[in-house]
Amino acid sequence: MSNVETNLIKPFPVAFSGHTLKYEIECICKIFLPMRKFTFLYDTTQLPADAEEGAVLILEQLGEQSRFWVQVQYRGQVMEQEQQFPACSPETEKQLCEYRFSAMLFRLLEEITDLHPAWGLLTGIRPVKKVQPLLGQGLFKAEVCEKLHEKYWIAPEKLSLVYDTAMVQQPLLEKTPKHGISLYVSIPFCPTRCSYCSFVSHSIAQAQNLIPAYLEKLCEELKIWGQLVREQELLVDTVYFGGGTPTSLTAAQLEQVLTAVQENFDLSHLREYCVEAGRPDTITSEKLETLRRFGVDRISVNPQTMQDHVLETIGRKHTTAQTVEAFRMARAAGFENINMDLIAGLPDDTPEGFHDTLEQILALDPDSITVHALTLKRAANLFAEGEQQVHNPVEQMVQESMRRLPEHGYAPYYMYRQKNTIDNQENVGYARAGKESLYNILIMDESQSIFGAGCGASTKLVEPCGRITRIHNYKFPYEYIRQFDQLMQKKEQVREICERIREQEAEK
């Protein structure tokens, strides 16, 4: 895509009549007008008579038929489309009605903006989940791609990407143990805050006084989770330390948390123990040795870019030389599964710069490489004017990674789309065979419960019937510390759901 809309001032009005199907309609509008705000009107008479732009979506029931009518007005052009189908009701056939409106609106916006989004009508964040049921029917690649293309109008290169990802995941997901859970441990501190950061992370210098109390509560929560895991006879399948930057803690502090994990959980069935070390400037051989001693077998060393001037622009206080040094230290410490994260579309980066970054990363030969596309939310903090995003070469960069990483033996193994990435791109993890992160796959597949410990962490409980319950911890360390007892009362809810899961499993 190119020529991204940059008029940030006026909200784009979207009016409905005969239905209130807002969710998918809004997603479709955002694909084409990512920088705009929208106003939704549930009565077309509220649309100002002199409105210069907007969309109208009307559903009328005409006896045996339902009439769908969509009009889009944009940049001096007005386009409309009408279709009639056998009678369908937005109350009882919500998905079908939503799909019909989405498809009509998509085609009109495509024509009026001359943008052709590669993911077509698919707006969800987990595209792989659309492939898995088709694989379950025993369909081959061509058939899967044809079906997805027919329904969502996805471009061939994205179809191939999503199919290949699903094929790598399938055998790994089949080995997911019964009664398995993953444990997520949140360390929400970073040495400094990167300018594009949209997470809740806290500068280690500012949070220094809070850290001992935070770690004490975190270890207490791990103890409570440990009791629950034992009581419910669950099996810890993967452990993931994320943040933030877990290695912004000292080696002794890391040891405190690793000990709490070791003492409270049976790790003998663990398939993966991952610590997202993250920023190269926080990695020391002492910390690496501590992680190895506790059985951590996968870490991330995240350069984001190997261009020093880009690092400076985004406020990362380290150099590419430090990244190389941290990577070599990790290898020397015995890590045989190292991931490196990159971001396509950073300010001051160019296709040539991104190409060079890939070259440098490939020369280091990490076991997996994750390529993220910069999100507009993050970009908004980085670029003074939305106008500059029009020329952002993120699509070119993402395409280069899609082409070159498989050439070097890396296969896509997990992916997700975020709302509002520049040019509607996706984030993809590539790995050498056998080096895929199971936690990343499981979190996207939503087939295993995840117990989250620490502030900002969330617990996701997956029931065999398909129901998913999410329970969120407080976002900020001071809330987590002060309201810890209150927070722990929510574990009762977890216990009840775990018992329900057991009952459903027994009935199977």
**In this complex, which beta carbon is closest to ligand SF4, that of residue 56 or of residue 376?**
376
Give the binding range for ligand SF4 (CB under 6 A) out of 34-42, 128-136, 171-179, 186-194: 186-194
Which of 108, 109, 112, 190 contacts ligand SF4 by CB under 6 A? 190
Q: Does 244 sit behind a cis peptide bond, omega within 30 degrees of 0 on the bond before it?
A: yes
Nearer to ligand SF4, 90 or 280 (CB): 280
Stretch that binds ligand SF4, among 10-18, 56-64, 193-201, 444-452 (CB under 6 A): 193-201
| Both tokens assigned to 398 | 């993402």
Determine how β-strand 202-203 pairs with β-strand 77-86: unpaired
Closer CB to ligand SF4, 193 or 490, in the complex:
193
Can you tell me the distance from the alpha carbon of 479 to that of 471, in angstroms, rounded to the nearest whole number? 16
Least gap, CB of 476 to ligand SF4 (angstroms): 14
Instruction: Choose, by CB under 6 A, the member of 10, 37, 116, 193 that binds ligand SF4.
Output: 193
Residue closer to ligand SF4 by CB (options 180, 188) is: 188
Give the nearer residue to ligand SF4 in terms of CB position, either 187 or 361: 187
Task: Return the range that interacts with ligand SF4 (CB under 6 A); candidates 37-45, 190-198, 288-296, 356-364.
Answer: 190-198
Q: For residues 48 and 184, give the distance between their C-alpha atoms in angstroms, rounded to a whole number.
A: 50
Interacting residues with ligand SF4 between 194 and 213 (CB under 6 A): 194, 197, 199, 201
**Could you give the angle at which helices 128-136 and 438-445 cross, rounded to 10 degrees?**
80
- 244-303 residues in contact with ligand SF4 (CB under 6 A) are 244-245, 278-279
At its nearest, how many Å lie between ligand SF4 and the CB of residue 199? 5
Binding-residue pattern over the window 218 to 247 for ligand SF4, x denoting contact by CB under 6 A? --------------------------xx--
Rounded to 5 degrees, φ, ψ at 443 are -65, -35
Complete DSSP assignment for 348-407: T--HHHHHHHHHHHHHH--SEEEEEEPBHHHHHHH-SSGGGGGG--HHHHHHHHHHHHHH
| # residues contacting ligand SF4 (CB under 6 A) | 10
Q: Does 416 bind ligand SF4 (CB under 6 A)?
A: no
* CA distances, 308 to each of 203, 319, 349, 375 (Å): 22, 6, 10, 21
Nearest Cα residue to 9 out of 31, 37, 29, 40: 37
> Helices H, strands E: what count in the chain?
18, 18
Q: How far apart are CA 467 and CA 490, in angstroms?
A: 18
Binding-site ranges for ligand SF4 (CB under 6 A): 190, 193-194, 197, 199, 201, 244-245, 278-279
